[in-house]
Amino acid sequence: MHARLANERDGITGALICRADIYMQWLEGPEAAVRATLARIEQDDRHLEVRLHVEEQVQDRMFAEWAMLHDPAVTWIWSQADIDAGALERATPEELTGFFMPLRGANRPGDIR
């Protein structure tokens, strides 16, 4: 909730995908605000091995309605063996972006806008 409030204050929108020990976050908004948010995440000792995998300028936001859409789905992107074998490190920007595409336009019970 604290992150969602900070995102609303800073004009940041996005989505969070949680799977096993992999957390992927999509941040969008003014470049300075996104960079400041990423810096806060990197400084937070609850986050380990923070990596920026995709960075690009876009015209329209994918998650404009969400301060932070949370997708707690129990489906797997990769198996634990895949993760242990370095699937995240080998993933292409297109593959990572593709994980977020099904979340566009989401409006499920329990989600907070």
Given the DSSP bridges, would you call strands 13-19 and 69-71 parallel, antiparallel or unpaired? parallel
What's the predicted TM-score (pTM) here? 0.77
Count of residues in the chain: 113
Helix (H, G, I), strand (E, B) or coil at 10: helix
Which burial class, exposed, middle or buried, applies to 103 when counting CB atoms under 10 A from its CB (0-12, 13-18, 19+)?
buried
Q: What is the pLDDT of residues 79-100, one digit of tens each?
A: 888 888 988 889 999 988 888 8
Q: Write down the domain spans for the chain.
A: 2-103
Burial category of 66 from C-beta neighbours within 10 Å (exposed 0-12, middle 13-18, buried 19 and up) = buried
CATH of 2-103, one of 3.30.70.100, 3.40.50.300, 3.40.640.10, 2.40.30.10: 3.30.70.100
**19-73 pLDDT tens trace:** 766 788 999 999 999 999 999 999 988 888 898 989 999 889 988 888 888 776 6
